[in-house]
Amino acid sequence: MTLDAAEETAHHAAMTAPQSPFDRLRRILADIPPGAPPIDFSIGAPKHAPPEFIARVIAEAADQFRPYPPIAGNASFQRAAHDWLDRRYRLGGWFREAGALLPLSGSREGLVLSVVTARDWLGKSNPAVLYANPYYQAYVSAAHVIGAEGVPVRTPDGPSPLPDFDAIPAETLDRAIAYYFGSPSNPLGSVASRADWHALFDRAERHDFFVFADECYSEIYREASGPPVGALEVARERPEVLKRLIMLNSLSKRSNLAGMRVGIVAGDTEVIGAMKDLRNQIAPQVPLPLQEAAAAAYDDETHVAENRRLYDEKFAAAEEILGPLFGPVTPAGGFCLWLKVDDDLAVTETLWREAGVKVIPGSLLAAGKGADNPGVGRIRIALVAPYAECREGLTRMAAVLAPKMAETQAALG
């Protein structure tokens, strides 16, 4: 049957992957010249220095670029990753016996492989994939890869990222094969408590879906508050939930090694075994010299603490410069500000046109239209640049926004 023009457009939209918010932002600002030398707060690409030993470790292991690497990782990687999980989440060796982990070519690969594995493992018809909203674009695209219905689940603005599952139809929850859940969340920076994790596992058991714990920001937290509770930490308290947990982490944020593309996926031995079999056929192995470098990074915490110190310093500047306008702005985790504004698209254009500061409108990072989009009226600012550049950008923002906010307040009386 021939599709008419409207049907063809709808059919094409359903068959194509979601657009990157950064591509959409480039189009929005394409014809607007920056009002000052550009400062880019839009992309969360870490810019702090990676550990100084990384280049040396790779050079010393360069001969290992010759062979194909084992898909499950070499002994050095496995040992270091397990050691880190034990230290970070106080697992006491439990996970070494109860679970398994694999190296990834960046956690984004794992986010896609996980949903394929969940679909095959659960075998539900007409599967749905739940994802935190605002969302990381890989969540939506992963659902697209397997032809599943992507269901945005609104992340509340409060301190907990746990959503209101009662607002989701029970039929949808029963079709769900997974829920992508970040802690610390992106872009809000909220952190799940131990009670949040337990409540989430309760819901996953009730409706038989996987929890995809995206913990890539797990080491970017405010030093004064201490490390967030992790999914594996809670799973140790109720080992039966390990069967429906897939945890993902990465060296990109923890160690400023985004370009090295190394992460981990961890979970139940059988589930990870199924993912390993799939990965062995469709995914790239992680080169052995990079596995050695990753092992060295996992073994060292000094650079991680310094990384947090640098972020804390920039959040202190944000409180000083933007706090008088917005109130408290520092999140519990992550490296982004999530600021409330009147019109996120208009403010984004104004900051670029008048201050040369590029931020990303919250509405591009979330699903829904109008008030149903939790990013409407928000802008995200990634504090990844060096301190001086961040301070300059924040100062320019305040200079542009302060008089406009004062005008709005005056108009409201």
- Give the pLDDT of residue 51: 98
Question: Tell me: the pLDDT tens digits for 233-280?
Answer: 999 999 999 999 999 999 999 999 999 999 999 999 999 999 999 999
The rounded distance, in Å, linking the Cα atoms of 368 and 232 is 32
pLDDT tier, 413 (very low <50, low <70, confident <90, very high otherwise): low
Cβ distance 160 to 190 under 8 Å? yes
- Give the pLDDT of residue 1: 33
The rounded distance, in Å, linking the Cα atoms of 228 and 180 is 18
> Where is 99: in which H helix or E strand?
strand 99-104
Centre a 10 Å sphere on the Cβ of residue 367 and count the other Cβ atoms it contains.
21
Question: Any residues with CB less than 8 A from the CB of 230 and at least 6 apart, and which?
Answer: 88, 89, 183, 213, 215, 218, 247
Question: Tell me: the pLDDT tens digits for 366-404?
Answer: 999 999 999 999 999 999 999 999 999 999 999 999 998
Q: Report whether pLDDT(14) > 70.
A: no
Return the structure tokens found at 37: 């030398």
For residues 279-298, give the mean pLDDT.
96
Q: Residue length, the chain?
A: 413
Q: Report whether pLDDT(198) > 50.
A: yes
Cβ distance 367 to 180 under 8 Å? no
- Give the pLDDT of residue 13: 40
Would residue 340 be called left, alpha or beta, if left means φ above 0 and alpha means ψ between -120 and 50 degrees?
beta
pLDDT tier, 16 (very low <50, low <70, confident <90, very high otherwise): low
The rounded distance, in Å, linking the Cα atoms of 245 and 256 is 26
DSSP 246: E
Residue 103 — φ and ψ, nearest 5°? -75, 150
Is the four-CA dihedral 26, 253, 226, 160 of positive or negative sign? Answer: positive
Which amino acid would we find at residue 154?
R
Residue for token digits 């993902």? 248
The rounded distance, in Å, linking the Cα atoms of 312 and 302 is 16
Q: Give me the percent of the chain exceeding a pLDDT of 90.
A: 92
Question: Any residues with CB less than 8 A from the CB of 361 and at least 6 apart, and which?
Answer: 25, 28, 344, 345, 347, 348, 375, 378, 379
For residues 408 and 196, the model is more confident at 196
Radius of gyration of the chain from its Cα atoms, rounded to whole angstroms: 22
